[in-house]
């Protein structure tokens, strides 16, 4: 999505700013953006009127984004994390919380620039969690780079302000151009702000819920905001054919796992483990005498 790495970025020490957009909304992707420039360009960067994207009108953000795209002294990159990936990571068995997802995205951008050959000397980043702990984590991961982690970094450092604009405009455009995977009738994008407290957003969720299939993939279904919409949801049972070591030295036991949850946060997953020796397993597996194999010779 971004332009190829400029030649100057591989020859001069560079500054990099990192910021995110869309951390809190229940709808749409979370986007991490970065902007970088030669350290010698930093004073000029301060004159370009970049500011925290939240303080700017949409038209101003779009104009500034277009100006930085054509500025040969500036480079940029983004990482777009879709709603489905956010929810899947937060709900899987070994959960990944939003802070960790954020940290991994930011570190992924640093790694990407280094792999591109950018001579990163300093990185400025808006904090997620404790600033000092985050700084130490980054420094241990990337020794040799100076990290400055601060609250409200997007209003303190122009290079982070620019990253904030990159992230915000990218997310806004992703929402404006969203193409639904689902084919239900009467779907629309009158979503409001996408934040949980917005009445238009709540109405959109109400209009687009399904008692069996849940929400469209635009929705971060792991958000607690979704829970009240499915108090009367249809109970769904998945049959799972698994082989677990029983830890007694008697081999393994088969079990059937019943999950009566739609996967929304706040719902308790009722898990019934049935020692079945085949009984209660899916008829497809029974009829063909199929077993799950995990180890191969």
Query: How many other C-beta atoms are found inside a 10 Å radius of the C-beta of residue 51?
Result: 18
Rounded to whole angstroms, how far apart are CA atoms 54 and 154? 9
126 known member of a binding site? yes
CA angle, corner 43, sides to 154 and 58, nearest 5? Answer: 40
The tokens for 79 are 């990482």
Residue 19, marked binder: yes
- Which region holds residue 194: left if phi is over 0, alpha if psi is between -120 and 50, else beta? left
200 is in an annotated binding site: no
- What is the chain's percent helix, strand, coil content, to nearest 5? 35, 20, 45
| Residue corresponding to tokens 């995977």 | 181
Half-sphere exposure of 205 (CA within 13 A, CB side): 25
Distance CA(218)–CA(194), nearest Å, equals 10
**101: closest CA among 110, 111, 89?**
89
The annotation places the binding site for a divalent metal cation at: 19-20, 126
The annotation places the binding site at: 19-20, 126
């Amino acid at each position: 999505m971004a332009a190829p790495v400029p030649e100057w970025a591989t020859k001069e020490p560079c500054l990099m700013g990192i910021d995110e957009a869309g951390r809190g909304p229940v709808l749409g992707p979370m986007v991490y953006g970065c902007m970088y420039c030669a350290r010698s360009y930093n004073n000029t960067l301060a004159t370009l009127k970049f500011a925290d994207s939240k303080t700017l009108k949409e038209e101003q953000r779009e104009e500034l984004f277009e100006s930085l795209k054509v500025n040969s002294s500036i480079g940029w990159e983004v990482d777009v994390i879709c709603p489905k990936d956010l929810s899947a990571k937060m709900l899987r068995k070994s959960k990944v919380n939003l802070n960790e997802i954020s940290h991994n995205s930011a570190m992924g951008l640093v790694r990407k620039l280094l792999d591109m050959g950018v001579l990163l000397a300093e990185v400025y980043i808006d904090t997620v969690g404790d600033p000092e702990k985050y700084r130490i984590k980054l420094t241990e991961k990337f020794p040799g780079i100076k990290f400055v982690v601060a609250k409200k970094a997007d209003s303190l450092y122009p290079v982070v302000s620019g990253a904030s604009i990159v992230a915000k405009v990218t997310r806004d455009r992703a929402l404006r151009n969203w193409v639904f995977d689902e084919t239900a009738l009467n779907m629309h994008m009158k979503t409001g702000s996408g934040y949980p407290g917005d009445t238009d957003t709540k109405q959109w969720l109400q209009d687009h819920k399904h008692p069996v299939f849940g929400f469209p993939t635009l929705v971060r279904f792991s958000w607690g905001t979704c829970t009240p919409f499915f108090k009367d949801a249809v109970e769904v049972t998945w049959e799972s054919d698994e082989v677990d070591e029983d830890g007694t030295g008697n081999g393994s036991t088969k079990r059937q796992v019943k999950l009566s949850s739609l996967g929304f946060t706040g719902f308790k997953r009722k898990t019934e483990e049935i020692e079945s020796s085949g009984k209660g397993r899916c008829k497809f597996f029974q009829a063909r005498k199929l077993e799950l194999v995990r180890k191969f010779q």
